[in-house]
Structure 1
Amino acid sequence: MDLNEFLEDKYGRRFVTLDVNGSGLLEPEDYEEAATRMCALSGTRPDLGSGRRLVEAYRAAHRSLARAAGAPYGIGRKEFTAVMCDRLAGRPEAFDHGMAAVGELVFEVCDIDRDGFLDERDYCRFLAGYGVPRDAALEAVRRLAPTGRLRLGREEFLAHSRDFYCGTDPAAPGTWMFGVF
């Protein structure tokens, strides 16, 4: 799929959330720090169980992205958006094949009370792991739960994630999966 203004903006927003240290490049440390923050904010140890698996999955995600971008260490915004567009836009099967497992781990770590749902507090913690400001996280919650009460089950969380990465509809709720900027 061709990179258009909507996809460039959406993937650009995702780039900002992943560039944890603000260097303008996605580096291995950014991915590890995002996963470690999510664990810390959720009360999960990043060196054990699901926390460790999440950190390892984020490390692997960076390696895969770096290979695809031809940038072994730091991936710039332009390269990131091009790879995301090429690999995921309009291709939900690509998400299911490669990224759904990471989404499962994120859900597991962020579901604090282990009730099988992410509520507003869980979801805001998830976004805080990426440094998304609280007001932007609350706007994302509002867009994901227009009825006023967020209660995302695992499948719905994955559907919104898939829609974010693969969707081409600017009005889809999943477009706001990683906050509003």
Structure 2
Amino acid sequence: MTSQKQRNIEAMLEIFDVGGDGYLTAADFAAHAESTCGALRLPAGSPHWTTIHTALDAWWDHLVRHGVTLAHADGTAIPTGECVEIMQDRLVDDDAFFAATVGPIADTVFRVLDADGDDAISTEEYVAVYLASGLTREVAVDAFTRIDTDDDGRIDRGEFVAVVREAFTSADPDSPGAWFFGVRPD
């Protein structure tokens, strides 16, 4: 049986596999960085743009360092399944990995989505990221509702950080993090 943690990691890596070929490459991570920055309307070279690109470059570097085999002869691609194993077995509980990759991305996304600067993300602000990743509005609204753990109609920084961490570490299908990548728990 596939755990919620594994489903979340698979869903995230499916989004990262921009080429859709079942392999992750540095080009996929760069394209995902561009897509994310475009969805967030970040100007090229701005501090937020740089943070997203730097963090996704670091993420790719972590996967390569921890990869057992590289699929292509030129060493440029890792099968998505192997990346899931690397994430589950070596990276999701590594504080240094989070500090260099997921943390800066989450902080940047939160700050950008909090368009009015009230230290909270509204439903519409949250839905925008899901739509940019190719997920549906229905899934986005469902996720928002579950992530808004205090039911106040907004996601504050504490809720956001906790959910991002849970998305990678929790196997509990009832946790708010189980919904972060738009994967309905079984």
TM-score scaled by length of structure 2: 0.80
Question: Given the alignment, which residue of 3, 9, 12 partners 2:10?
Answer: 12
Q: What SS does structure 2 have at the residue aligned with 1:179? A: coil
Question: Given the alignment, which residue of 138, 142, 166 partners 1:139?
Answer: 142
Kept after mapping to 2: 8 A contact 1:17/1:132:
no
- For the structure 1 residues 109 and 32, does the alpha-carbon distance in structure 2 shift closer, same or farther, using more than 3 Å as the test? farther
Q: Does 2:61 correspond to 1:58?
A: no
- For the structure 1 residues 20 and 115, does the alpha-carbon distance in structure 2 shift closer, same or farther, using more than 3 Å as the test? farther
Q: CA deviation at 1:163?
A: 0.4
Q: CA deviation at 1:93?
A: 4.2
* Separation of aligned partners in 2, 1:33 and 1:139: 27
Kept after mapping to 1: 8 A contact 2:149/2:159:
no
Q: What SS does structure 1 have at the residue aligned with 2:76? A: coil
Amino acid at match of 2:2: E
Q: Provide the aligned length of Structure 1 versus Structure 2.
A: 177
Kept after mapping to 1: 8 A contact 2:13/2:80:
yes
Kept after mapping to 1: 8 A contact 2:8/2:181:
no
TM-score scaled by length of structure 1: 0.82
Kept after mapping to 1: 8 A contact 2:163/2:180:
yes
Q: Tell me what 1:128 maps to.
A: 131
Q: Tell me what 2:33 maps to.
A: 35
Kept after mapping to 2: 8 A contact 1:110/1:118:
yes
Q: CA deviation at 1:88?
A: 4.3
After superposition, the C-alpha distances for 1:14-48 in whole angstroms (9 at most, x for unaligned) are 22121123222122222222222222222221321
Question: Given the alignment, which residue of 100, 104, 114 partners 2:103?
Answer: 100
Question: Given the alignment, which residue of 162, 170, 174 partners 2:173?
Answer: 170
RMSD: 2.5
* Separation of aligned partners in 2, 1:22 and 1:11: 16
Kept after mapping to 2: 8 A contact 1:25/1:75:
yes
- For the structure 1 residues 106 and 85, does the alpha-carbon distance in structure 2 shift closer, same or farther, using more than 3 Å as the test? same
Amino acid at match of 1:51: W
Runs of 5+ unmatched residues, structure 2: none
Bigger drift between 148-157 and 61-70 goes to: 148-157
- For the structure 1 residues 163 and 23, does the alpha-carbon distance in structure 2 shift closer, same or farther, using more than 3 Å as the test? same
Once the two structures are aligned, what percentage of the paired residues are identical? Answer: 26
